[in-house]
Amino acid sequence: MKSALIVWGGWEGHEPRACAELFAPFLRSNGYQVALSDTLDAYLDPALDQLNLIVQVWTMGTIAKEQEQALLAAIERGVGFAGWHGGMADSFRNSPNYQFMVGGQWVAHPGNIIDYTVDIVAHDDPITRGMASFRMHSEQYYMQVDPAVEVLATTTFGGQYTPWIDGVVVPVVWKKRWGAGRVFYSSLGHVARDFDVPEARELVQRGMIWASR
């Protein structure tokens, strides 16, 4: 049986427990034995390398050096890593090696909760195949992104809140490699109800399966 670990915690505003529990049943229905943990010490488990997938839902906070090293080494050796919104790309602001693995870092959401469009740009990828552009009412994440990531979806910013970024296109969904491991990220999912948008939920579900070893 395949195995997955969901690690949740950090800032409560992103509803980490509710979001973790939202996706655990999906993984179980796809043949995974799923463990949930609310401590980053889960990354120190010697059995971490045996997992197929790690899903992280942990906004802000800090990660100890030995926790970070164990996580990055497990991914490099082939464990998949997936997540969304601040639970993956705003997790540990003082950990550049972790950010290097993720492929991007949140820096702003002008206007806070607004209406915006997510544009699918990789129409033949298994994560986005058959999906069309769709609307969200949530935080539109402005990201600083590694140019080496493979971008699957983007969003275009208007200038009503910060005029100097009018027309700037920023990745929303990407995938990449870290050694032998696959890494998936979506900036959607500020709170659990954001995944009531079918496309937002489907992207994470497909992304987890893609990332899994």
12-32 pLDDT tens trace: 999 999 999 999 999 999 999
Label the pairing between strands 104-108 and 169-178: unpaired
The Cα 144–Cα 146 span in angstroms is: 7
H or E stretch at 120 = strand 113-120
As a whole number of angstroms, the distance between CA 38 and CA 45 comes to 14
Tell me whether residue 132 is exposed, middle or buried, using C-beta atoms within 10 angstroms of its C-beta: 0 to 12, 13 to 18, 19 or more: exposed
In percent, how much of the chain has pLDDT > 70?
A: 100
Indicate the average pLDDT of the chain.
98
Residues in the chain: 213
Q: How would residue 82 be classed by pLDDT, with cut points 50, 70 and 90?
A: very high
The pairing of strands 150-156 and 113-120 is antiparallel
For 9-94, where are the alpha helices, taking DSSP H only?
16-29, 65-76, 85-89
What is the structure's pLDDT at 106?
98
In terms of Cα–Cα distance, which of 76, 65, 78, 92 is closest to 7? Answer: 92
Q: Would the pTM count as exceeding 0.95? A: yes
pLDDT digits (tens, 9 = 90+) for 152-195: 999 999 999 999 999 999 999 999 999 999 999 999 999 999 99
- Spell out a b/e string for 142-167, using b for 16 or more CB atoms within 10 Å of the CB, else e: bbebbeebebbbbbebbeeeeeeeee
Amino acid at 139: E
Query: Residue 14 is inside which H or E element, if any?
Result: none
